Amino acid sequence: MSNSILQTTFLGIPMNTPIMGASGTFGFGFEYMPFLQMKYVGAIISKGITPLPREGNAGVRIAETPSGMLNCIGLENPGVEFFLANLLPEIQKLHIPLIVNMSASSVEEYGELAEKLDVPGVDAVEVNISCPNVKEGGIVFGTDAKAAAAVTAAVRRHTKKPVIMKLSPNVTDITYMAQAVEAAGASGISLINTVTGMAIDITTRKPVLGNITGGLSGPAIKPIALRMVWQVAKAVHIPILGVGGISTWQDVVEFMLAGATTVAVGAYNFVNPQAIEEIAIGLEKYCQQEKITHICEIIGTLKD
């Protein structure tokens, strides 16, 4: 790999490629070492970390759908203290940038968690706001601009790391949400989180998932993610991390043309654990064929 073509810097973080492993699909990075050369991974976005350990949801958690996958894992994770003591040292051995995905149930908890994660070895935080606000009757932070801004501001106050806000697509106007978190101090925006969906077993006449509804990911949501990246890129002045349905190097090119600075591969890692490596190699060949000297040249160059 000719690193010079794909090497990039995202929020001040040097990366070998603009392609990351998306949260919830790439574990903590080291799980993928048997499957691909890690030099192709721009950064690892960790599985979601919460203040306390979580067992996750009961019942069926994953269901395959046409061109996609539903999941309702329920943020199963060992909690921030275990992560810092046991997992972070192992991730650091990979010498790959680490972005920690974090979730909480109140504005105060988000701030406290951000402070605990403000340590060496963590390069940035990706804030999952597709969570219910327990103090406000269960409203999802990511569907209310004021709540999203409050979380952003709390995290910003408690960390010196770049703050990436991961926005939910389950809103009326994504640009309004993006502008709200930008004004509150976000360093960057991650687009998009999963789309709410469900599946039904017609034999039992019951929902397939134990949680009834779940988050839809995979190629089925790519057109939605692409549209939202394009909209937000025109509405804010901070970098965008494009996520949602990416499975080929052509998908990466589309996201970058629409305005994404970097991208993350999610559900497709389950289909092909070598996906990031294959996508990076294909992206490099595309640049060479098109006589593009650096991948950043195509960002936001979509023609009307």
- Among candidate residues 131, 148, 228, 243, the one labeled active-site is 131
73 annotated ligand-binding residue: yes
Alpha-carbon span 111 to 159, nearest angstrom: 8
128 annotated ligand-binding residue: yes
94 annotated ligand-binding residue: no
Tokens of 207: 């929902």
86 annotated ligand-binding residue: no
170 annotated ligand-binding residue: no
Number of continuous H segments (helices) and E segments (strands) in the chain: 10, 16
75 annotated ligand-binding residue: yes
Q: Which long-range contacts (CB under 8 A, 24 or more apart) does 282-289 make?
A: 282/248, 282/249, 282/250, 283/6, 283/17, 283/19, 283/249, 283/252, 283/253, 284/1, 284/2, 284/5, 284/6, 285/249, 286/249, 286/253, 287/5, 287/6, 288/2, 288/5
244 annotated ligand-binding residue: yes
Tokens of 114: 């951000």
287 tagged catalytic:
no
Alpha-carbon span 244 to 216, nearest angstrom: 10
Q: Any idea what DSSP says for residue 46?
A: P
Alpha-carbon span 234 to 231, nearest angstrom: 6
Sign of CA dihedral 286, 289, 292, 297: negative
71 annotated ligand-binding residue: yes
> Do strands 8-10 and 19-21 pair parallel, antiparallel, or not at all (unpaired)?
unpaired
Q: Any idea what DSSP says for residue 160?
A: S
Alpha-carbon span 183 to 264, nearest angstrom: 24
21 annotated ligand-binding residue: no
Which residues define the annotated binding site? 23, 47-48, 71-75, 101, 128, 166, 192-194, 218, 244-245
Numbered residues of the known binding site for FMN: 23, 47-48, 101, 128, 166, 192, 218, 244-245
Residue positions annotated with a catalytic role = 131
Q: Give the residue ranges of the annotated binding site for substrate.
A: 47, 71-75, 128, 193-194
